[in-house]
Amino acid sequence: MKKIKQILLLTNLVIGSIAFAQAPEKMSYQAVVRNTTNNLVVNQAVGMQISILQGSSTGTAVYVETQTPTTNTNGLVSIEIGSGAVVSGNMTTINWANGPYFIKTETDPTGGTSYTISGTSQLLSSPYALYAKTSGSSTPGPQGPQGPQGPTGLIASGSIAGNTPYWNGSSWVTNSSNIFNNGGNVGIGTSSPNAAAKLDISSTTQVFLPPRMTTAQRNAISNTPTGGMIFNTSENKLQVYKAALPAPVDGTGNSGTWALYDGPAQGQVIQPLSSGALTSIQAQVAIRVSSGDIVCKIYNAPNGTLLATSTNTINAPWAGSEFNFVTGLWSFSGFSFVAGTNYYVEFTATNGNRFFIGMANNTYPRGAHYTGLQGSTNVTDFDIDMIVNYGVSVPAAWENLH
């Protein structure tokens, strides 16, 4: 029989995994093949059968496969055990914990299956990374011994719910009612803050001290909220911030007992409570034609000086005895009321059509209804039912608390 030398170099049985990746079911294997004259068998296909034996070098073959690799220019053949043609067994079912295991290689230098060279080597520790792949699903081991007591935390548990701890310079104080927080209310100096107060300060020996600042410092505060409080050191005053008040409104509008009055012009005396720019006047009106203009005029006296005027087209035709009233809105600009002064508000149809205006008893008590300049019978028992909107005369400001 022809003698051929084969040097088997078992290197790096690579079966581990990196991080949490799945371990591959393969092992790297390399061998150098030489012929009877000790020359390398280069660039030539060789036939190989690889067996994994359990227990000893002559033990039971738990896995067998064949491969036909090609040597390189150095006579080196490199294969991955687990990637060949399976003859028997299954790499994935080998229990690597039940070793030892051995690798047996049989080689046919001609590339066939007449294996004339064989060798067996024991697997060392590297392949058992395959066992580590499944060790997490094995039966748990016994309970280990209890570790030592850990160090005490920074803040110990308190004894009263709601107490807020503080650092006294050397340790945390947990059982003080200096600041108490029950999750909905905060108390200072009390462990039972009033349920109606978000903050309850209790003391018989100390005072409440708000922020102290000069007028210039106060005025530099941006977006001051309503109710903000300071002590003004420039004026020696406790002060609170109040937001701007909305425009005052005179009249009740659409209330009381309805009465109807028709005529070319109707007027109403008003006396504003506050000074401010007139913005609009509202009244309930209807007209004898399908559509027409009604003018609202402001005088300083009957037949006096015209101070302001606004025209509104009304689409509320009268049909027989039915009166289709709508809310008329007359807008004004450039004119301001002076508080306590009488003004005469008059409504007139520009085309001479008769119109109807809603009236209610005593809806505007500061002045009386009067007959317009174009002359109709005066109705003294009713006032024109209207709403007068005027002014924004109370700006936001800091106010002294006395």
Q: Other CB atoms closer than 10 Å to residue 121's CB: what's the count?
A: 14
pLDDT of residue 370: 53
Q: What is the dihedral of CA 278, 279, 285, 286, to 10 degrees?
A: 120
Strands 199-201 and 186-188: what pairing?
A: parallel
Q: State the Cα–Cα distance between residues 163 and 165, nearest whole angstrom.
A: 6
**Strand extents, DSSP E, 10-149:** 27-33, 47-54, 60-67, 76-81, 85-89, 101-108, 117-122
Between 365 and 72, where is the model more confident?
Answer: 72
Write the pLDDT tens digit of every residue in 214-261: 999 999 998 888 899 999 999 999 999 987 665 555 544 333 333 344
Residue ranges per domain, the chain? Answer: 6-135, 157-208, 212-242, 249-390
pLDDT(19) > 60: no
CA 330 to chain centre: 45
pLDDT attached to residue 245:
61
What's the pLDDT score for residue 183? Answer: 85
Higher pLDDT, 302 or 330: 330
CA distance 110 to 211: 100
Question: Confidence class of residue 268 from pLDDT cuts 50, 70 and 90?
Answer: confident
Report the pLDDT value the prediction gives residue 374, as an integer from 0 to 100: 36
From the list 231, 240, 196, 225, the residue with the least C-alpha distance to 212 is: 231
Place of tokens 């018989």: 204
Residue 389: what are its φ and ψ, rounded to 5°? -110, 125
Question: Cis ω on the peptide bond leading into residue 100 (within 30° of 0)?
Answer: yes
For residue 187, give every residue at least 6 positions away whose Cβ sits within 8 Å of its Cβ, in sequence order, or none.
177, 179, 180, 181, 193, 199, 200, 201, 202
CATH top class, domain 249-390: mainly beta
396, burial (CB in 10 Å: exposed 0-12, middle 13-18, buried 19+)? exposed
Architecture of domain 6-135: Sandwich (2.60)
